[in-house]
Copies of this chain bind each other. A is one copy, B any other.
Amino acid sequence: MSESQSRLDLFIDRMVSQRTCLDFAIAQTTGMPGPVFELGLGNGRTYHHMAQRIQDRPVYVFERAVASHPDSTPPEDRVILGDVRETLPASVDRFGASASLIHADLGGHNREKNDAFARFVSPLIEPLLVPGGLMVSSDRMYFDALTELPLPEGAVEGRCFIYRR
């Protein structure tokens, strides 16, 4: 990161990297039968992107309260409502280790809080992935058994992370 990068530069790098890594991970997991999990819906832009490009697998969204753009609101039966501290453990019972792709952009503006949350939530995410499944995150995660992959061309180092089980 150059010292002359503005917050706008960093934000654009993050959004472009997120899209590049997601498109790579969607292509890599095509043909795998397991569901896709989007952790956090927010405005719904990224969900819209994933739902448009993933036709072969269901995309479930984990969210506390749906407040997305009307164009990007998932069907009710694809929303898993609640705090991820509870809904992720419950999903291990429901889905087992079956997810082909998990994406998370949970982070807010506070870097320390993001990192603490990433440490907390990593062991809750890890058991949901099927062997060979991918996890894409805007924050560095803390997994025991997953392997960090090199980023695809066009993604910016440190702005996105990809892990494989």
Contact = CB atoms under 8 A, between A and B. Distances in A.
A108 to B, nearest CB: 10
A6 B109 contact: no
Interface in A13-29: 15-16, 18-19
State the majority secondary structure of interface residues on A: helix
Contacts of A8: 15, 18-19, 45-46, 48-49
Counting every copy of the chain, the complex holds: 2
Interface extent on A, as a size class?
A: 20 to 34
A70 to B, nearest CB: 8
Contact of A69 (B7, B15, B44): B7
Listed from nearest, the 8 A-B pairs whose CB atoms lie closest are A6-B49, A8-B49, A7-B48, A7-B45, A8-B45, A6-B52, A6-B48, A12-B15
Given A6-B52, A7-B71, 13 more contacts: A6-B49, A7-B48, A7-B69, A7-B72, A8-B15, A8-B46, A8-B48, A8-B49, A9-B49, A12-B16, A12-B19, A15-B15, A69-B109
16 contacts: A6-B45, A7-B45, A7-B49, A7-B69, A8-B15, A8-B18, A8-B19, A8-B46, A8-B49, A11-B45, A12-B15, A12-B16, A12-B19, A15-B15, A16-B16, A69-B109
